[in-house]
Structure 1
């Protein structure tokens, strides 16, 4: 880079936003999707960044892209600048959801929460906040790190999966218990399932991302045997039961929404002292007092109260 002072009047500061997205995602395609632009436009922006910085920014390694040492060194300072600008602009006025445009980045650690909890919010936003957009990130192993690095604005996760949530601003949304799910016409299960059946019938185990579900970990700690037949992502499990002898365990709120569609039967688990999941939203200090973020969090609190009957 040049040792001479940079004339900011000749630089498009939107390039900083693109730089942060490109170096974070290590992908032109994902960066374009995150910023809501076309892939060709993002490729053109990468070329402009390379010219501005006199650095490749991203280089190919194997089948993917990696950041150059220079772009790695600039990532955190650029993020800091973007956060400062965001806070300066956000502090100028209150947030009016009916007219203001904002995009919020949410990371939801379970796919099923998008279906069973966030879907009603999306419909509400369309009517009440037409210029508000939610960018919902898929589950990620480094979900806490992404929140700390300000790559996402809000994390929704079971507090059991993130014990360190107490160190950040957070709020419990709702609790959810577990039910056993089977095909409604299961040949061996009628109105209840016995402990022996639970342990011996073909069992469909579930994972969340790359991690075993909280329920599976509980069963392991209790020493409950299972006749493991198949393992899949938690959100896919209910769709694999119809016409089989498989049994699985689901969170009740998701299961209730799918019971008719998938011809399921829901039963009480024949295991005592199971812990429920407590879905919690966690955010960073930088967005704690921002009017728009406070508004979004209140929408989630209101929605949680409605679905639990506590409104």
Structure 2
């Protein structure tokens, strides 16, 4: 393949097609008509010797070759964009930038709420997109769907992404303030095992949170009566019930102040969680991204 014979604008079109998987929406994204997009897709198919997008019912799906192009294509386009738009500095008081952060609702309450308040006052032209926690955090960074991922180090696992520790938190048991079976604000091991539990599951596949994973691995069986995907719903759901739920202290204390629940020490030792932020190396030296990471680190430091 000779690059001199290829219009490199086609790479922008290809990126839009692979992202949207729809010719009309891809055209709207980059300002081209549907006929122009169809003609460009025909040229791309000829260049790659592959249909790239094929029809499956009413939808278009990517071929295997097209799937493998997503990450390297985005990386290449991002590097070109950074080279052309490189800024020697970033002024939050005047510069207009857009950033995205993927995090759980727990991290959203504890870390992102004060971050948004800080940025709203200091950077009036900065837009922050807050995204839900992703099942595959590394792919979110690879494909540039998020600039920062906030994730417990225990879940993110071994990786080569730059990172910065933010905060740690411990697990407590949340119960109704007038729980009929718990006296003197002490939850015994027997009560913990016999009472019904509400369990926070991560994502639609209901992956157990770190505390419940620890108990399961230790062979501690409980009666799970309710599961919920949102960590922040836990305290609301246990009100007026006999349910017990494992919650993280920093978030639970913020919510418990307005609810009729109480927080108790668990009868079993549970490992703390350690939240960190991760980003793609492409953003390490960008002044705007550095400013955002410093603000997030500042928020976490003040909490500590």
Match of 1:91 among 79, 86, 90: 86
**Per-residue deviation, 1:44:** 7.3
1:288 equivalent in structure 2: 284
Q: Once structures 1 and 2 are overlaid, which stretch shifts more, 86-95 or 137-146?
A: 86-95
With structure 2 as the length reference, what TM-score do the two structures score? 0.83
Question: 2:48 maps to what in 1?
Answer: none
Q: Is the 8 A contact 1:170 1:283 kept in 2?
A: yes
Aligned in 2, Cα 1:226/1:99: closer, same or farther, shift over 3 Å? same
Residue 192 of structure 2 aligns to a residue whose secondary structure is helix
Q: Which residue of 2 aligns with 1:135?
A: 129
1:240-297 per-position Cα deviation (integer Å, ceiling 9, x unaligned): 111111110011111011103332211111113x210000111122111111111110
The question of whether the paired residues in 1 share the 8 Å contact of 2:168 and 2:273 is answered with: yes
SS of the equivalent of 2:158 reads helix
Unaligned stretches of 5+ residues in structure 2:
46-50
Task: Tell me whether 1:219 sits opposite 2:215 in the alignment.
Answer: yes
Counterparts of 1:51-62 in structure 2, within 5 Å, are 51-54=39-42, 58=53, 60-61=55-56
Q: Cα deviation per residue 1:28-68 (whole Å; 9 max; x = unaligned)?
A: 99x89xxxxxxx94597582433322268655535754225
SS of 1:151's equivalent?
Answer: coil
Give the 3-state SS of the residue equivalent to 1:164 in structure 2: coil
Who is 1:173 aligned against?
166
- 1:165-190 per-residue CA deviation (whole Å, 9 max, x = no partner) reads 4x221111000101100111211123
| Of 104, 108, 117, the match for 1:114 | 108
Contact 2:70 2:143 in 1 (8 A): no
2:87·2:287 contact (CA, 8 Å) conserved in 1?
no
Are the structure 2 counterparts of residues 91 and 248 from structure 1 closer, same or farther at C-alpha, using a change threshold of 3 Å?
A: same
Q: Distance in 2 between matches of 1:240 and 1:198?
A: 18
Measured after TM superposition, the shift of residue 162 of structure 1 is 1.6
How many pairs are equivalent?
A: 292
How far apart, in 2, do the equivalents of 1:24 and 1:206 lie? 32
Q: Is 2:103 aligned against 1:105?
A: no
Do residues 263 (structure 1) and 276 (structure 2) align? Answer: no
Please name the residue that 1:163 is paired with: 157
Q: Contact between 1:90 and 1:290, CA under 8 Å: does it hold in 2?
A: no
Q: CA deviation at 1:27?
A: 6.9
1:249 aligned onto 2:246: yes
Q: Confirm or deny that 1:277 pairs with 2:270.
A: no
Query: C-alpha offsets along residues 210-233 of structure 1, whole Å, 9 cap, x if unaligned?
Result: 321111111112222212111121
Q: Are residue 238 (structure 1) and residue 231 (structure 2) matched?
A: no
Q: 1:136 to 1:89 in 2, by over 3 A?
A: farther
Change (3 A) 1:123 1:27: farther
- Structure 1 pair 304/25, CA: closer, same or farther in 2 (3 Å)? farther
Query: 1:120, CA displacement in angstroms?
Result: 1.6
Pick closer, same or farther for the CA change 1:234–1:159 going to 2, 3 Å: same
Q: Is 2:118 the counterpart of 1:124?
A: yes
1:205 match: secondary structure: strand
Does structure 1 residue 147 correspond to structure 2 residue 141? Answer: yes
| Residue in structure 1 matched with residue 182 of structure 2 by the alignment | 189
Distance 1:184 1:212 in 2: 26
